[in-house]
Amino acid sequence: MTFSAAPHAGRRRPVRRSAHRRAARADPTAAATERAAELAHRRAQGEERRTRLVTDAVDHLRRQGLLHDGRPSHADVAARTGLPLGQVLWAYPTIDDLLHAAHPTSTDHPKGHLP
């Protein structure tokens, strides 16, 4: 079996740049603006996801009576909303965080229970 030399043998390998990097070299200001818009879009998607998580979780937990019969767990919330447990834990490290996000002004109820 013989191996042929690479077409760039003895020279530096050609650099392939993505369209984003080529655009950044051509016009750095436009590339930065585009990147900022992309980050803002991702941030908005994250907020939308968190809002959906809270509303779905509270709705399902109310329907199942888990908000009044005892403290729900992250696994209960994940199972009821159909979201991965890791996503629920990442968004709300404690159940109190999730319940507070659902009703941020409600402080007169015992922990883990909503009126």
Listed by start position, the domains of the chain span 24-102
What pTM value is reported for the model?
0.46
Residue-wise pLDDT tens digits, 59-102: 776 776 665 556 778 887 888 777 889 988 988 899 888 878 77
Does the domain formed by 24-102 have CATH 1.10.357.10?
yes
9-26 as b/e: b if 16+ CB within 10 A: eeeeeeeeeeeeeeebee
Q: Which amino acid is at 88?
A: V
Kindly report the number of other CB atoms within 10 A of residue 101's CB atom.
17
